[in-house]
């Protein structure tokens, strides 16, 4: 029982997070309060939403390097809509951002599906194109807090039962993704395509189409995050969330989602993101320079991938006794 | 047998003649693109054809191209190294730190190359020693290496490099030929010979096409890959020396995002991102194209980020167009 629990990646990650929090608590006990946890969770919400989208893509043996650029472009368009038409209802703006994000994801998905271009090349290209488009749209100008309407900025901070809407939204997305991944044909198809594309074809799954939907999903979530990011930090410019695509992938890797596809879970992605979130929020508290964050998350990624690789290796089942002897 | 020309005796050694193969190759397509851009640029701006301007333009790509040569080999072998830009940052930080201690130019160069080698060793050990996927490992070391230079520097910068150090990034070997450009040409030849004319080069292709088969044919897969990551680290160290010398200062954000530009250069050069094929002449042409586009747009006052859109579109379209072209031809044939 104990051994089985220890082999479970998610439980290992929970243990790691608890150990991390305990370590922080040794130097700064006040970090370990419900209010502080709620703050850390809220601060990590956007990363969680993005990691969920990236998870779907990575499960199908693809990768989406354009998520942060997609976020920045969708966020910028949301902010521009808001400044141009301050009267527009916020839900409409959110839906527009999501639709635009989804559209950008569709571009990635179409290139991967219809033209068979390797995903890393596609998203490397669209990453620069999407960021460039922001510049073309704005001429490099910023949209600052005073240009945005109050309702636009207030929504993520708005409290609902004492918890900010931002946290609620990420919880909602986690719940939705739980349903999609576990209870819908599409979710199972993500696993099937990544686990064994050839077998997936024989079971009647269109591999390209499944990947296309994974990109649509990651794009839509990036669009949602675009609005959340811009309204939360109350500023939009070309370089928002620059380099964040790697944080998203890092969260997935730490969460035990195998870059080779087919292995991973919603809980893993959430915990991976939270692990990074705890580190980011704890460093200033325990008086370590925030400049150390990058090196620490790098080390964590390497350790996580080494641990996960060991766990994955054991999974092979011996079918032929003879093969084992060799 | 009705189809006489398909009998085993008549199977041709090569499916096409040498001339046809060269004409249809990726490299000749790149050459045409390069010439078109060259002509376009010289028509668009009267300042383009000035030898000194062209010489200045080479600085756009020489440092990235040095890394791209080694990266091409890594990608042909089926791996990738995303940590190169961070190696530049760490090597530059180490050199900057040494300068504060009063270290002189030859030792600085040794430190730059040494840090590159050490970083390459770390990557190589993790990937070949532990058998981890290179894309994740190098995303990790990318954070780690640049993170270390952030820890050392914070929001500060190292300056005060000795005057003799400036030669690597600003000096000229002969007339308009800068040290960096000369180095670029030399490295192109060295890597061209290494990849296309040596056993080692054949081993790289073999690994990229079928790692298991290569292993069974006696190729020391792990050792070859380890050497490739070592080379990439060394090239990043070299690029770091040139870039630091050219800028005369070190910030932790130095060469930010270069890993993607280097990979773009390699893929544009016709190297298959999935491994197994690609040539050094292709990478050289891709470097020239990217350099000329950047420079030409610069002369026309096009902002840098618009150029990056162009590079992104170029990257996708050079891969998409041949696929679309083939499909269109197949449809017409039916």
Tens of pLDDT, residue by residue over A185-239, are 999 999 999 999 999 999 999 999 999 999 999 999 999 999 999 999 999 998 8
- Cβ neighbours of B264 in A, within 8 Å: 124-125
pLDDT of amino acid B154:
87
Mutate which of B74, B82, B83, B144 to test chain A, going by most A C-beta atoms within 10 A?
B144
For residues A40 and A19, give the distance between their C-alpha atoms in angstroms, rounded to a whole number.
16
Q: Which residue of B has its CA nearest to A302?
A: B140
CA distance B146 to B253: 8
Residue A160 DSSP SS3: strand
pLDDT of amino acid B18: 66
Q: What are phi and psi of A206, to 5 degrees?
A: -80, 110
Determine the residue among B260, B316, B317, B319 to mutate to test chain A binding: the one whose Cβ has the most chain A Cβ atoms within 10 Å.
B316
Which two three-digit tokens encode residue B8?
């085993």
pLDDT for the residue numbered A120: 85
A117, A238, A292 member nearest B316 (Cβ): A117
Contacts of B143 in chain A (CB under 8 A): 246, 250, 294-295, 297-298, 301
Residue B18, phi then psi, degrees to nearest 5: -60, -45
Mean pLDDT of B222-230: 96
Q: A-chain residues within 8 Å CB-CB of B153?
A: 291
List chain A residues with CB under 8 Å of B313. Answer: 125, 129
A248: confidence class by pLDDT, cuts 50, 70, 90: very high
Q: Do B142 and A118 lie within an 8 Å CB cutoff?
A: no
A114 interfaces chain B, CB cutoff of 8 Å: no
Residue B78 confidence (pLDDT) above 90: yes
Contact residues, chain A, for B78 at CB < 8 Å: none
- The interaxial angle of helices A244-254 and A34-59, nearest 10 deg, is 90
- Chain A residues whose CB is inside 8 A of the B320 CB are 111, 115, 117
Cβ count near A143 (within 10 Å)? 20
**Angle between helix A207-233 and helix A165-183 axes, rounded to 10 deg:** 170
Residues 6+ apart with CB under 8 A from B97: B152, B158
| Interface contact flag, B144 A306, Cβ < 8 Å | no
| Interchain contact A115–B (C-beta under 8 A) | yes
Kindly determine whether residue A128 and residue B323, on different chains, have CB atoms separated by under 8 Å. no
User: pLDDT tens digit string along A121-164?
Assistant: 899 889 989 999 999 998 888 998 888 888 888 888 887 777 89
A34 min Cα distance to partner chain B (Å) = 31
The two three-digit tokens of residue A141, written as one number: 């100008």
Question: Which of A302, A309, A314, A326 has the most B C-beta neighbours within 10 Å, making it the best mutation to test the interface with B?
Answer: A302
Contact B140 A305 (CB under 8 A): yes
CB atoms within 10 A of CB A149: 15
| pLDDT computed for residue A283 by the predictor | 81
List, as one string, the DSSP characters of A197-244. HHHHHHTT--HHHHHHHHHHHHHHHHHHHHHHHHHHHT-B-TTTTTTH
Average pLDDT, chain B: 88
Q: Specify the pLDDT at position A323.
A: 44
| DSSP calls for B202-229 | HHHHHHHH-HHHHHHTT--HHHHHHHHH
A1 touches chain B (CB under 8 A): no
Selected residue of A66, A109, A110, A121 to mutate for chain B interface (largest B Cβ count, 10 A): A121
Which of A120, A121, A132 is closest, CB to CB, to B305?
A: A132
User: Tokens in use for B20?
Assistant: 């046809």
Q: How far is A80 from chain B (nearest CA, A)?
A: 20
Give the pTM: 0.84
How many Å lie between the alpha carbon of B36 and the closest alpha carbon of chain A? Answer: 22
Please give the Cα distance from A269 to A276 (Å, whole number): 11
For residues B147 and A295, the answer to whether their CB atoms sit within 8 Å is: yes
Size of interface A-B (CB pairs under 8 A): 139
pLDDT at A285: 78
Specify which residues B174 forms β-bridges with.
B177
Q: Say if residue A60's pLDDT is above 70.
A: yes
A residues 255-294 closer than 8 Å to B (CB): 259-260, 289, 291-294
CB contact under 8 A, A124 and B264: yes
Hey, is the C-beta of A111 within 8 angstroms of any chain B C-beta? yes
Question: Is A118 in contact with B273 (CB distance < 8 Å)?
Answer: yes
Q: What percent of chain B has pLDDT over 90?
A: 51
Tokens of B98: 């040494």
Look at A96 and B155; give whichever has higher pLDDT: A96
Distance from CA of A258 to the nearest CA of B (A): 10
A35-59 pLDDT tens trace? 888 989 999 999 999 999 999 999 9
Grade residue B14 by pLDDT with cuts at 50, 70 and 90. low
Residue B112 has a pLDDT of: 96
Cα–Cα distance, A70 to B256 (Å, whole number): 19
A163-177 pLDDT tens trace: 898 999 999 999 999
For Cα atoms A312, A313, A319, give the angle at the middle one, nearest 5 degrees.
115
**In Å, how far is A43's CA from the nearest CA of chain B?**
21
A125, A133, A260 ranked by CB distance to B133: nearest:
A260
Question: What does pLDDT average to over chain A?
Answer: 88
- The residue-averaged pLDDT of A291-307 equals 85
- The structure tokens listed for B291 are 């350099």
Q: What is the pLDDT of residue B199?
A: 95
Which of B137, B154, B309 faces A132 most closely, judged by CB atoms?
B309
């Amino acid at each position: 029982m104990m051994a089985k629990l220890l082999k479970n990646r998610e439980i290992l990650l929970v243990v790691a997070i608890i150990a991390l929090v305990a370590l922080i608590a040794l130097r700064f006990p006040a970090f370990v309060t419900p209010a502080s946890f709620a703050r850390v969770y809220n601060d990590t919400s956007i990363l969680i939403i993005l990691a969920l989208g990236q998870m779907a893509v990575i499960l199908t043996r693809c990768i989406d390097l354009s998520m942060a650029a997609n976020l920045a472009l969708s966020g910028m368009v949301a902010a521009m809509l808001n400044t141009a038409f301050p009267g527009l209802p916020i839900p409409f703006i959110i839906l527009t951002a999501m639709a635009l994000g989804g559209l950008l994801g569709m571009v990635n998905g179409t290139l991967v599906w219809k033209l068979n271009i390797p995903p890393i090349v596609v998203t490397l290209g669209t990453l620069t194109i999407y960021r460039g488009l922001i510049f073309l749209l704005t001429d490099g100008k910023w949209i600052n807090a005073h240009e945005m309407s109050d309702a636009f900025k207030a929504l993520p901070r708005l409290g609902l039962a004492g918890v900010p809407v931002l946290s609620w939204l990420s919880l909602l997305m986690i719940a939705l993704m739980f349903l999609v991944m576990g209870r819908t044909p599409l979710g199972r198809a993500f696993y099937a395509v990544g686990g064994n594309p050839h077998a997936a074809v024989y079971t009647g799954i269109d591999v390209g189409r499944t990947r296309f939907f994974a990109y649509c999903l990651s794009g839509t979530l990036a669009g949602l995050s675009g609005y959340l990011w811009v309204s939360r930090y109350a500023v939009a410019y070309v370089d928002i969330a620059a380099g964040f695509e790697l944080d998203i992938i890092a969260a997935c890797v730490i969460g035990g989602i195998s870059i080779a596809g087919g292995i991973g879970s919603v809980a893993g992605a959430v915990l991976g993101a939270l692990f990074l979130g705890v580190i980011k929020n704890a460093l200033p508290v325990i008086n370590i320079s925030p400049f150390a964050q990058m090196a620490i998350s790098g080390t964590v990624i390497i350790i996580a991938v080494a641990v996960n690789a060991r766990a994955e290796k054991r999974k092979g089942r011996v079918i032929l006794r003879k093969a084992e002897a060799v | 047998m009705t189809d006489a020309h398909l009998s085993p005796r008549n199977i041709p050694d090569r499916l096409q003649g040498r001339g046809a193969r060269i004409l249809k190759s990726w490299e000749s397509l790149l050459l045409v693109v390069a010439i078109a851009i060259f002509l376009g640029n010289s028509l668009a701006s009267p300042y383009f054809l000035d030898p000194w301007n062209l010489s200045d333009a080479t600085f756009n790509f020489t440092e990235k191209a040095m890394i791209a040569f080694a990266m091409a080999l890594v990608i042909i072998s089926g791996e990738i190294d995303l940590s190169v830009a961070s190696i530049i940052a760490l090597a530059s930080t180490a050199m900057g730190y040494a300068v504060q201690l009063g270290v002189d130019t030859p030792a600085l160069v040794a430190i730059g190359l040494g840090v590159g080698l050490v970083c390459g060793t770390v990557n190589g050990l993790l990937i070949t020693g532990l058998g981890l996927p290179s894309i994740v490992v190098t995303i990790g070391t990318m954070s780690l290496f640049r993170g270390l230079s952030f820890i050392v520097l914070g929001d500060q910068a190292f300056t005060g490099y000795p005057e003799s150090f400036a030669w690597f990034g600003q000096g000229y070997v002969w007339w308009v030929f800068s040290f960096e450009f000369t180095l670029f040409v030399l490295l192109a030849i060295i890597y061209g010979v290494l990849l296309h004319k040596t056993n080692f080069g054949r081993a790289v292709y073999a690994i990229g096409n079928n790692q298991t088969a290569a292993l069974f044919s006696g190729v020391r897969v792990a050792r070859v890959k380890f050497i490739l990551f070592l080379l990439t680290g060394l090239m990043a160290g070299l690029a770091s020396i040139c870039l630091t010398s050219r800028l005369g200062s070190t910030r932790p954000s130095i060469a930010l995002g270069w890993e993607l530009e280097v990979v773009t250069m390699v893929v544009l050069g016709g190297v298959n991102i999935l491994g197994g094929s690609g040539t050094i002449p292709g990478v050289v042409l891709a470097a020239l194209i990217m350099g000329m586009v950047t420079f030409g747009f610069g002369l026309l006052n096009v902002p840098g980020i618009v150029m990056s859109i162009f590079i992104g579109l170029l990257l996708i379209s050079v891969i998409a167009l041949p696929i679309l072209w083939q499909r269109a031809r197949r449809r017409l044939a039916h």
